[in-house]
Amino acid sequence: MLTKIVEEALNEQIEVECQSSYSYLAMASWCEVKGMEGAARFFYKQSDEERLHMLRLFKYINDSGGHALTPAPDKVQLHFKDIMEVVDCFLEGEVKVSQGINKLVYIATQEKDYTTLNFLQWYVEEQHEEETLARSIQDKIKLIGLEANGLYLIDKEMGSLSGTANAETI
Ligand code: OFO
């Protein structure tokens, strides 16, 4: 059984994951219209994953006697200067999600809710992987540069990342 405090905190995280899903959808669309099909595939997949992270929280809250609340996302950034800005925003988004997860872990600890703490471990690991991924893409873009050939390589690289990542289910 969840305490009200934990339930509210989990619902706040639903909002964060939902917001990420919409942000990445906008990034995917921007990449697609710029002809970067590989990067678009990458962000469509990231967007889907964030939705699954949100649904995982829905299921957990409802199965634990709480009520998962469907969020209304805020407006997201639709236009970007270049692919570097997109990836910078991606990393920023992941850092924000990690902060939310860390806050949740803190609250669950304060509330002595060990079941929720256990549930959150998956998110802790996931966030570590996602931040690492975003930083590695940032590093590669810096290395390759944004000239014509560079853009082609970055797109190819990001497309291959979307193909190799594990499929997730809730
Ligand atoms: Fe769910 O935010 Fe990253 O993966």
Tens-digit pLDDT profile for residues 31-69? 999 999 999 999 999 999 999 999 999 999 999 999 999
Gap from CA of 148 to ligand 1 centroid (Å): 31
| Cα-based angle 120, 125, 127 (whole degrees, multiple of 5) | 95
At 57, the amino acid letter reads: L
The dihedral region occupied by 137, where left means phi > 0, alpha psi between -120 and 50, and beta the remainder, is alpha
Using one digit for the tens of pLDDT, what is the confidence trace for 100-119? 999 999 999 999 999 999 99
67-108 pLDDT, tens per residue?
A: 999 999 999 999 999 999 999 999 999 999 999 999 999 999
Task: Kindly list the structural domains of the chain, giving each domain's residue range(s) and its CATH number in brackets, ordered by start.
Answer: 4-169 (1.20.1260.10)
Separation of 53 CA from ligand 1 center, angstroms? 7
Q: Ligand 1 site: residues with CB under 6 angstroms? A: 17, 20, 49-50, 53, 94, 97, 126-127, 130
Helices 37-63 and 4-33 cross at an angle (nearest 10°) of 160
Tell me how far apart the alpha carbons of residues 49 and 21 are, in angstroms, rounded to a whole number: 8
